[in-house]
Chains A and B, each alone.
Chain A
Amino acid sequence: AQSVAQPEDQVNVAEGNPLTVKCTYSVSGNPYLFWYVQYPNRGLQFLLKYITGDNLVKGSYGFEAEFNKSQTSFHLKKPSALVSDSALYFCAVRDANNAGNMLTFGGGTRLMVKP
């Protein structure tokens, strides 16, 4: 079984400050890890993924995430937050050893960036 935990329901940050959205995962095999963002009344938009290789992954809109195998974490980061980054963020995991494309999602973290 695989699972994802996003320990913070909401993260508040001032515009221009760095932001971190936390994610930890559990999977029996090797993990494929993803971050998605959801704006109000919209679907999920892909931000970035970790498959293998460099632990620091860079994605869309200046976001990046760091894979930490020992801590089973994949935290999302951005050096300087924008008000337009305010949205719902989801971390997801897929077991690389299993056939298929089934994602298990965390509960989501609402990011609020204040001017």
Chain B
Amino acid sequence: KAGVTQTPRYLIKTRGQQVTLSCSPISGHRSVSWYQQTPGQGLQFLFEYFSETQRNKGNFPGRFSGRQFSNSRSEMNVSTLELGDSALYLCASSLPRDSGNTIYFGEGSWLTVV
């Protein structure tokens, strides 16, 4: 069974540009979440999508957005990139919420903003 797949794995962008990251969840998983990991702030929740609807949102500016498609695949977009957006972006998937379903993470997308 394939795990959570994230593309691209590595990318470099210039300040002011925008970036789109993609995530394919584990087959059958309909909940997809995104997290940002930085040395200074650690792991922070960005947002969660379930059945193409955003269900939860973290404390990030509106430049960070996402969406989920009918096949549960998800994308996140960051517009007007800032140096501080350099981070590892992790996607996670899980079965619909029940009594403690496990949340599985992908290998992440490393974003460097120069």
Contact = CB atoms under 8 A, between A and B. Distances in A.
B33 A101 contact: yes
A108 B102 contact: no
Interface residues of A, number: 24
A101 B97 contact: yes
29 contacts: A32-B100, A34-B102, A34-B103, A42-B108, A43-B6, A43-B105, A43-B107, A44-B90, A44-B92, A44-B105, A49-B100, A49-B102, A51-B99, A90-B43, A96-B100, A99-B55, A99-B56, A100-B48, A100-B56, A101-B48, A101-B92, A101-B97, A101-B101, A103-B92, A104-B45, A105-B35, A105-B42, A105-B43, A106-B42
Contacts, number: 66
Contacts of A90: 43
